[in-house]
């Protein structure tokens, strides 16, 4: 039997401070559960083959779409369907839980990622 553990996201958030660098805290089927701290603007991108879920723990996250802006408050979540171009924006630090397939790259299809590192995430 696999080792079953209780995970406290708040405790995990205390272990890192880097922004836009998802940390893997669990896996379920073919997906990872990740934590991330966000601040500023991310790059416009899309994920051609994966949906992406954002659950806000702390702060307010705007997700810019080409035709509107979503504003998520703590406790709210949104699923960005595969193929939809989006850009997360956080005026102040935001803490989120992401659930996405293990194959998902953080920068999706973006060619110019600026200072944002493209990653699948790292375990914490």
Residue 93, domain member (yes or no): yes
Q: What is the domain-level CATH number for residue 96?
A: 2.60.120.10
Residue 68, domain member (yes or no): yes
Which residues does residue 71 pair with via DSSP β-bridges, in sequence order? Answer: 62
**pLDDT one-digit tens code per residue, 91-109:** 999 999 999 888 887 665 6
Residue 121, domain member (yes or no): no
**pLDDT one-digit tens code per residue, 18-50:** 999 999 999 999 999 999 999 999 999 998 999
Both tokens assigned to 49? 């083959």
Residue 53, domain member (yes or no): yes
The arithmetic mean of pLDDT across residues 114-121, rounded, is 62
Residue 115, domain member (yes or no): no
Strand stretches in 14-123, DSSP E: 23-28, 31-41, 52-58, 61-65, 69-72, 77-80, 86-101, 122-123
Domain that holds residue 71: 22-106
Q: How many domains does the chain have?
A: 1
Residue 3, domain member (yes or no): no
Q: Which pTM does this prediction carry?
A: 0.85
Which residues does residue 69 pair with via DSSP β-bridges, in sequence order? Answer: 64
Residue 14, domain member (yes or no): no
């Amino acid at each position: 039997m696999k080792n079953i553990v209780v995970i406290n996201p708040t405790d995990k958030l205390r272990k890192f401070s880097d922004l836009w660098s998802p940390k893997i805290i669990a896996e379920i089927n073919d997906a990872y559960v990740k934590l991330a701290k966000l601040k500023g603007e991310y790059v416009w991108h899309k994920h051609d083959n994966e949906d992406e879920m954002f659950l806000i723990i702390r702060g307010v996250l705007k997700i810019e779409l080409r035709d509107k802006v979503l504003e998520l408050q703590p406790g709210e979540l949104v699923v960005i369907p595969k193929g939809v171009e989006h850009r997360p924006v956080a005026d102040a630090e935001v803490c989120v839980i992401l659930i996405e397939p293990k194959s998902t790259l953080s920068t999706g299809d973006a060619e110019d990622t600026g200072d944002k590192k493209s990653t699948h995430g790292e375990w914490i």
